[in-house]
Structure formats: structure tokens, C-alpha cells
């Protein structure tokens, strides 16, 4: 299933991936993709973003929701990138996790998609839902750390990067939150939740 999958966020470098992923919290990738062209035109790198005026930045990202917190995170992260990493996004899990607004999902997205580093498995709302429905975890979908740990124990490390993209694609196309298409799902025979959702 889904042999050619990649992130739906349209980005061209690690800085853009970091920013877009921070913006994607509680927001669709499609909405983020509408915002980022103007954002990246105005702030093409961490140095430019670190000098941003809060009000202008909030105006650009307003439609992604939670824009006050996201602006604060973007400014703090970009300032730390400039001060501690010469304006570059580090290819290191601990360094990424030290940035404001960056938790494991964002760090894994950047490391997996930009640097090819299988630091973990990205757990977004789709991955959490499918992991629970398919019986890969018993953790509630709000427990991303436990879900990630459970998936990492099941999935070979060489597949960590692609498994989240495949689960996300399946969650968007077939195993949706409200009305999953169980009757047309190629995983229906393996799924303990088939027809029960």
C-alpha cells in the first residue's frame, strides 16, 4: 500500500520543514500549505524569522489557529537556531527537542524527511487513530509517546520513516476519523476494528 508516499507539507529545506511542522499543530497540512508561501517569501531563513515583528508574523499565520503560541514558538526556535546553530536546523534529536515548540512529532518529521535519520516514528492524529484501530497499541490517541514506543517495537527501524507516511495516507484516504471505508479497506481482514467504528 502507498509505495510512493511523502509528507503533504510543501517545503524545500529543513528550516521550512521545521516551520511548517510547528504550524501544522491542530491544523491541516492543506491550510499550512496556503500560509507558507507568503511566510517563506517574507522570512526565507531562521535569521530573518528571528527578527520578525510579532504582530506581522501573527498576521501571516493567523489562519493556522493558535497563532499567538505558534508565533512565540517560531520566534523562539529561530532565535535559538541563530544563537546556537549558526542559523541552521540541526540534524540531532536532542538539539531539535530543545527548541521552543518542538516535541517528538516535529523533531521526527524534520529528521526523517530532511536528513533521512530514523529517530522515531511520527505520530500525528492519523497515525494515532490507525495504531489504535489496527491493534498496534492500546494507548489512547492523546498518548503519542506511548504510541510511538509501541510502533517502534513492532516496525523494523528501516521502515520507521515510511510507516508514518503510509499510515497517514491510509488514514486520509480510507480509515478516516468519522466514517472509515471498512468495506473497501485492503486491511479489513487484519483489522480488529473493522466494521465496529
Q: Is 70 designated active site?
A: no
Q: Cα(first)–Cα(last) distance of the chain, in Å?
A: 22
Q: What angle do CA 136, 123, 15 make, to 5 degrees?
A: 155
Residue 1 has pLDDT above 80, yes or no: no
Q: Which three cell numbers stand for residue 58?
A: 501573527
Name the pLDDT band for 2 (thresholds 50, 70, 90). Answer: confident
CA-CA-CA-CA dihedral for 162, 167, 169, 171, to nearest 10: -170
Catalytic residue selected from 17, 124, 141, 150: 124
Residue 164, judged by CB atoms within 10 A of its CB (0-12, 13-18, 19+), counts as buried
Task: State the chain's mean pLDDT as an integer.
Answer: 96
- pLDDT tens-digit readout, 44-72: 999 999 999 999 999 999 999 999 999 99
Question: Tell me: the pLDDT tens digits for 130-166?
Answer: 999 999 999 988 899 999 999 999 999 999 999 999 9
Q: What is the pLDDT of residue 176?
A: 97
Helix axes 144-154, 125-133, angle to 10 degrees: 60
pLDDT at 162: 95
For residue 105, indicate whether it is catalytic: yes
pLDDT at position 142 is 84
The structure's pTM equals 0.94
Place 197 in a pLDDT band, splitting at 50, 70 and 90. confident
17, 70, 105, 141: which one is catalytic? Answer: 105
pLDDT digits (tens, 9 = 90+) for 74-94: 999 999 999 999 999 999 999
Percent of the chain whose pLDDT exceeds 70: 100
Amino acid at each position: 500500500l502507498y509505495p510512493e508516499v511523502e509528507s503533504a507539507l510543501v517545503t524545500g529545506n529543513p528550516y521550512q520543514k521545521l516551520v511548517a511542522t510547528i504550524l501544522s499543530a491542530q491544523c491541516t497540512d492543506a491550510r499550512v500549505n496556503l500560509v507558507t508561501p507568503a511566510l517563506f517569501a517574507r522570512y526565507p531563513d531562521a535569521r530573518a524569522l528571528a527578527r520578525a515583528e510579532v504582530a506581522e508574523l501573527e498576521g501571516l499565520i493567523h489562519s493556522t489557529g493558535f497563532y499567538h503560541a505558534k508565533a512565540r514558538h517560531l520566534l523562539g526556535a529561530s532565535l535559538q537556531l541563530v544563537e546556537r546553530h549558526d542559523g541552521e536546523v540541526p540534524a540531532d534529536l536532542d538539539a531539535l527537542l530543545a527548541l521552543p515548540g518542538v516535541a517528538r512529532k516535529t523533531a521526527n518529521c524534520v529528521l526523517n524527511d530532511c536528513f533521512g535519520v530514523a529517530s522515531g516514528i511520527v505520530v500525528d492524529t492519523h497515525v494515532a487513530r490507525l495504531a489504535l484501530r489496527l491493534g498496534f497499541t492500546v494507548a489512547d490517541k492523546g498518548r503519542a509517546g506511548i504510541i510511538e514506543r509501541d510502533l517502534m517495537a513492532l516496525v523494523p527501524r528501516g521502515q520507521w520513516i515510511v510507516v508514518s507516511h503510509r499510515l497517514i495516507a491510509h488514514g486520509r484516504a480510507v480509515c478516516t476519523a468519522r466514517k472509515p471505508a471498512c468495506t473497501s479497506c485492503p486491511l479489513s481482514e487484519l483489522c480488529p476494528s473493522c466494521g465496529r467504528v
